[in-house]
Amino acid sequence: MKGIVYKSTGSWYQVKTFDNTFYSCKLKGKIRLQGLKSTNPIAVGDKVDFEVTKDGDETIGIIKDFEARKNYIIRKSVNLSKQTHIIAANIDLAFLVITLNNPETSTTFIDRFLASAEAFDVECVLLFNKLDTLDQNEFGELKYLAEIYREIGYHCIGISASTGKNLDQVKALMIDKISVFAGHSGVGKSSIINAMDANINIKTKAISEQHAQGQHTTTFAEMHETAFGAKIIDTPGIRGFGMIDMEKEELGDYFREFFTLKSECKFHNCLHINEPKCAIKQALNQDIIAFSRYKSYCQILEELDDQDNSFRKNPHA
């Protein structure tokens, strides 16, 4: 039988078949993942193939195989084992929820998220929430910010979870798709989802947020279905994707507007810092590339300098 993983709690997987029946499934032996040292071979969102069997009186499923993933997002293990944890697979849309203030979402946070999403091959939509709280000046600021991202091709929607403004647009994008909502704590992720479908009981606040940062807490992702035909993966693990390890030369590929220009740099391995005849620096000087985007790029590049690159995501796994 075929189905999609809706929940995973360590060794058991809740799998829903296409005729809407749930089965508790276990893995048959070890399903190996190519080139990825992962603590969990199967994740929420995976499409699996399983056999129905009896475990005493209970009907259970044994997962034999899973389909190649369209994409997946991972979290690095906090210890030094270089293991990864697959948070979710086969994501159609990631909504990044942004607020100008309360809390403030920095452009660095946005750019880091977008670069990760590009690297993970996850389509991203920017939701500017709490429009109802903005005065005219703030609204202007927000429009300016959104314009930076619209210009480079990201879909941006101004919304309010409180008044419901433009939530119909968000809903329309979600139908028949698997979505995740990311963004800082307090930006309104749960409020948005609740405003769209009051019956979905999204677990409040990330468990990890109640603990000291960096502490390892096991959190399980779960897929929910809305009455309007959308699937949402709820997990505290994707407020931000975190930055995956990559070669420094790669980073520019994940800044869309850089990627389209980089073939015009004199050096093919240009990092766009001090190299002569750099098309990115030129575009920056002409205000074609936003300064905030360039600043984020430099910051992430510097961090890549500091980290151990021996573990990398295999984009084709």
Is 270 an interacting residue with respect to Zn ion (CB under 5 A)? yes
Rounded-to-integer distance, Cα 262 and Cα 278, Å: 8
CB of 226 to ligand GDP, least distance (A): 16
Question: Closer CB to Zn ion, residue 286 or residue 310?
Answer: 286
* Amino acid at residue number 12: W
The footprint of ligand GDP (CB under 6 A) covers 129-130, 132-133, 160-162, 183, 185-191
Judged by beta carbon distances under 5 to 8 A according to partner kind, the member of Zn ion, ligand GDP, none in contact with residue 278 is Zn ion
Cβ atoms < 10 Å from Cβ of 34: 7
CB of 91 to ligand GDP, least distance (A): 18
Judged by beta carbon distances under 5 to 8 A according to partner kind, the member of Zn ion, ligand GDP, none in contact with residue 270 is Zn ion
| Stretch of residues binding Zn ion (CB under 5 A), selected from 38-46, 173-181, 273-281, 287-295 | 273-281
Task: Say if residue 219 is exposed, middle or buried (CB neighbours under 10 Å; 0-12, 13-18, 19+).
Answer: middle
CB of 119 to Zn ion, least distance (A): 19
Task: Report the chain's terminal Cα–Cα distance, integer Å.
Answer: 24
State how beta strands 222-225 and 155-158 pair.
unpaired
CB of 293 to ligand GDP, least distance (A): 24
Question: Closer CB to Zn ion, residue 244 or residue 278?
Answer: 278
Closest residue (Cβ) to ligand GDP? 188
Give me the residues paired with residue 94 across strands: 124, 180
| 46 contacts: CB under 8 Å, gap ≥ 6 | 4, 5, 66, 67, 69, 89, 90
- The residue among 292, 296, 294, 251 whose CA lies nearest residue 147 is 292
What are the residues binding Zn ion (CB under 5 A)?
265, 270, 272, 278, 280
